[in-house]
Structure 1
Amino acid sequence: MKRGLFLGMAGMAMALMATTGAQAQFGGLGRVLGSVAKEVGVPNFLSGPQPVSTSIKDATFADPSRDGFDAGTAQALTSLNRNDKGGFVLAPGHYTMLAQSYCLHAGTHGPSGGDGYLYAPVKGSAEDAVIAILQNSNAHPEIAQRDIQQLLWAIVARAKFEDLDNRLKLVAGQLLTTRQLASLNRNALSILTSSELSSVTGGLPGPLRTIVEAESQLRGMLSSGSSSYEDMERVAVLAGVAPMGAGSVDVPASRWSRHPDGYWVRYRPNGYTNTHVDIFVEANSSAVGKVYDPGKAIAVPGNTSRQRLAQSGRVYTG
């Protein structure tokens, strides 16, 4: 268990360094991880897979030339044809949708007015499972958004799916294959006692320590079956004023991203649970006939201390 724990922590550390680019701020991180490895008696591994690793460095599609662009009157994105995964088959024009979205970075702050978000693809060791949940949920409108969010928290926190309550196990069985569930269980971490958590996080930088603690608490909450959704939300989504995280970039809230398939997409979250999505497709462009698949998209904040948000093809109704 301790070896798996350290691998997970090291992965988070490396991901945070890559996310922020803060080599100076976390210059002693290798020494910290080395001391943790020595304390718990495991080899000094300096890398490990993150279930979701998408970060600001992956959001390379910002298009400042479209700032102030008038896309014209918007039509409902849901008016477009959809493929078997719930993706939208694009036609020329401006389309909009208030979509359900999901927290994918426990222990960080939720969106706030004025924050800019950019498109990036889903990446990480559990990207297959994350995409499957988001895509397959389109065919299951009876599954509550909160249940989907809890499954995603279970993934980012590396909880054991076999330890989830029966209701969430049933939902997981509807959205994931047996192979995907087995893979998630293999990569899960055990629940830490308070003393174990303190010994592991004591020397870590503040932002990383907060994330490790939040994920550990979520593992316990999801396994106990006695915690309310609101309790989990308080742990996963930090309240209060968000500082500017190291490595943040200035992203206006109105900024578009040019998708690799040739269309433009813009994300304007109202909170972590819902995001106003705009799609613009030029007439006669190569993007016509391509598919916008929300399940493969993450809205990444310019401020690295805020939530990255998984997108979905489900309409948010409050």
Structure 2
Amino acid sequence: MKKLAYVAAAAALAVGGVGTASAQLGDLGRLVGQAAGKLGADKLLGNKVPITTSLADAVHGDPQRDGWTPREPKRPLDSLRRTEAGGFVLGPGFFEFSAQSYCLHAGTHGPGGGDGYLYAPTKGAAEPIVVAILRNSVDHPEVSQQRIQALIWTLLSRSKLEDMNTDLQATARTLLDARELKAISKTALEMIPPEILNRALAEAPPLVRQALAAEAQLRSLASRPGTTFREMESVAVLAGMAPRGPGSQTVAEGRWSRHPDGYLIRYLPRGYSHTVVQIHVEPGSAAIGRTYDPATHVAVPGNTSRQRLAQSGRAKIA
């Protein structure tokens, strides 16, 4: 019996290699489960898909406001009072923030092509860990955005802490407490019989095999001393034109979402690592006094071939 990381790499690469993984990771367990028949996703993935947020969770879009811009003068979001967790206490007005954002869907294409993004909450087995990383990053400006992104990719590949190289372990220990570090093992892959995985991969759709192969490559890179960020990025972020992914929806660029707390928000990505966030709080709104916590937000594209983007309270400096 071998670890799933090595079996997945061998099996997936043998049948097609790394390519466009257009299925949302939230659907990955379901698709593999269907392919494996009676085995089910729980047997294959341990019911531990790290981040499950998908287009199905992005239900707050407001197409009636397409092309609309608030009349109020635009103000910097970071002029508002901040919370200890890196959030912003909202007041009435029109606000903008140039945020560091993070890829949550390795093996897919970055933003572009006029595709719009919608608000959805962070969900999945690794949600508490990812949110903690993003919140704590605000208090650790010495930790570069690239180091944070590399750690997030490693978590999404379901690596164990002890299998990460020393640089990734150091980043994790800077941004997470002892309880959160221990929780990483709960989303890591366990050992399963290779014949189970091989049968599932043989019957799975090509895009699922490719997604598993991308995860396996990231696990391998994360364990190797001296791995560079560019090496991980080349696996996680696909180049070229993004195809239209299955289950995609037409979402206008700059579409507003109405957050359940009562404010309007939209995401204008400038690449996967940089998102311009705009928020509008109407006078008298129930949102006044509430907190916008970027770490709990995922910007979800209408095109499922593109990356979901985690948001942070750290400013992106050009």
Q: Is TM more than 0.5 here?
A: yes
Q: Which one-letter code corresponds to 1:289 in the other structure?
A: G
Alignment correspondent of 1:48 = 47
Where structure 1 has 5 or more consecutive residues not aligned to the other structure, the ranges are none
> Offset at 1:240?
1.1
Correspondence 1:32 to 2:31: no
Q: Is the CA contact 1:191–1:220 (under 8 Å) kept in the aligned structure 2?
A: no
Residue 191 to residue 316, structure 1, CA distance change in 2 (3 Å):
farther
Residue 3 to residue 119, structure 1, CA distance change in 2 (3 Å):
same
Residue 113 to residue 152, structure 1, CA distance change in 2 (3 Å):
same
**SS of alignment partner, residue 226 of structure 2:** coil
Where structure 2 has 5 or more consecutive residues not aligned to the other structure, the ranges are 9-20
Q: Is the CA contact 1:80–1:88 (under 8 Å) kept in the aligned structure 2?
A: yes
Q: Which one-letter code corresponds to 2:222 in the other structure?
A: L
Identify the range of structure 1 (196-205 vs 226-235) with the bigger mean alpha-carbon deviation. 196-205
TM alignment of 1:182-261, pairs within 5 A: 182-189=182-189, 201-261=201-261
Task: State how far apart, in whole Å, the 2-side matches of 1:231 and 1:43 are.
Answer: 31
Alignment correspondent of 1:310 = 310
Q: Percent identity?
A: 48
Alignment correspondent of 2:14 = none
Task: State how far apart, in whole Å, the 1-side matches of 2:245 and 2:256 are.
Answer: 22
Task: State how far apart, in whole Å, the 2-side matches of 1:198 and 1:80 are.
Answer: 53
> Offset at 1:201?
3.5
TM alignment of 1:1-318, pairs within 5 A: 16=24, 19=27, 30=33, 32-34=35-37, 48-72=47-71, 73-189=73-189, 201-318=201-318
Identify the range of structure 1 (170-179 vs 95-104) with the bigger mean alpha-carbon deviation. 170-179
Q: Is the CA contact 1:34–1:44 (under 8 Å) kept in the aligned structure 2?
A: no
Task: State how far apart, in whole Å, the 1-side matches of 2:216 and 2:182 are.
Answer: 21
**SS of alignment partner, residue 268 of structure 2:** strand
Q: What's the C-alpha RMSD, in Å, of the aligned pairs?
A: 3.1
Q: Is the CA contact 2:110–2:307 (under 8 Å) kept in the aligned structure 1?
A: yes
Residue 160 to residue 287, structure 1, CA distance change in 2 (3 Å):
same
Alignment correspondent of 2:13 = none
Task: State how far apart, in whole Å, the 2-side matches of 1:189 and 1:44 are.
Answer: 11
Task: State how far apart, in whole Å, the 2-side matches of 1:102 and 1:3 are.
Answer: 28
Q: Is the CA contact 1:107–1:237 (under 8 Å) kept in the aligned structure 2?
A: yes
- 1:49-103 per-residue CA deviation (whole Å, 9 max, x = no partner) reads 2110000010010011211222132111111110110100001111101100001
Q: Which one-letter code corresponds to 1:118 in the other structure?
A: L
**SS of alignment partner, residue 36 of structure 2:** helix
Residue 180 to residue 243, structure 1, CA distance change in 2 (3 Å):
same
Residue 248 to residue 172, structure 1, CA distance change in 2 (3 Å):
same
Q: Is the CA contact 1:262–1:287 (under 8 Å) kept in the aligned structure 2?
A: yes
Residue 196 to residue 107, structure 1, CA distance change in 2 (3 Å):
farther
Q: Is the CA contact 1:33–1:44 (under 8 Å) kept in the aligned structure 2?
A: no
Alignment correspondent of 2:12 = none
Q: Which one-letter code corresponds to 1:68 in the other structure?
A: G
Task: State how far apart, in whole Å, the 1-side matches of 2:42 and 2:158 are.
Answer: 21
Residue 274 to residue 287, structure 1, CA distance change in 2 (3 Å):
same
Q: Which one-letter code corresponds to 1:33 in the other structure?
A: A
Aligned residues: 300
